[in-house]
Amino acid sequence: DVKVTQSSRYLVKRTGEKVFLECVQDMDHENMFWYRQDPGLGLRLIYFSYDVKMKEKGDIPEGYSVSREKKERFSLILESASTNQTSMYLCASSLYREKLFFGSGTQLSVL
């Protein structure tokens, strides 16, 4: 079974801090995604990566950046956290156009 592991389940940060969210998958998937999940807004794509060192912006990339130095790891970076980035962050991976496998999520609170 595919395992997508997000490093933290809960995270509390202060406004202006630099925040790293880590995601690791163990099935050699080329695609990896970062979504944020907000009530009433559903899942919105922040960034995705279709290969090592390759990335594309999703629908809401402002205030975020990503890093994919190794195939199994995809990091989401909040350069200067703001309160409107308080959210549930979901990482996912997939093989080509196959189904997405999701991590359990990181609930980030920015105070």
Partner 1 sequence: AQRVTQPEKLLSVFKGAPVELKCNYSYSGSPELFWYVQYSRQRLQLLLRHISRESIKGFTADLNKGETSFHLKKPFAQEEDSAMYYCALMGSSNTGKLIFGQGTTLQVKP
Stretch touching partner 1 by CB under 8 A, among 10-18, 42-50, 64-72, 78-86: 42-50
Q: For 106, how many CA atoms within 13 A lie in the half-sphere containing its CB?
A: 25
Under the criterion CB under 8 A, does residue 12 sit at the interface with partner 1? no
Cα gap 18→14, rounded to integer Å: 9
| Residue 107, C-beta contacts closer than 8 angstroms, at least 6 positions apart | 9, 10, 11, 87, 88, 89
Q: What minimum distance in Å lies between the beta carbon of 105 and partner 1?
A: 8
For partner 1, the closer of residues 35 and 74 by Cβ is 35
Tell me if 23 sits within 8 A of 3, measured CB to CB: no
Tell me if 6 sits within 8 A of 102, measured CB to CB: no
**Which residues in the 48-87 window bind partner 1 by CB under 8 A?**
48, 50, 56, 58-59
Q: Which of 45, 63, 65, 71 binds partner 1 (CB under 8 A)?
A: 45
Cα gap 13→108, rounded to integer Å: 8
Under the criterion CB under 8 A, does residue 10 sit at the interface with partner 1? no
Size of the residue set binding partner 1 (CB under 8 A): 27
Q: Which residues bind partner 1 (CB under 8 A)?
A: 31, 33, 35, 40-45, 48, 50, 56, 58-59, 90, 92, 94-100, 102-105
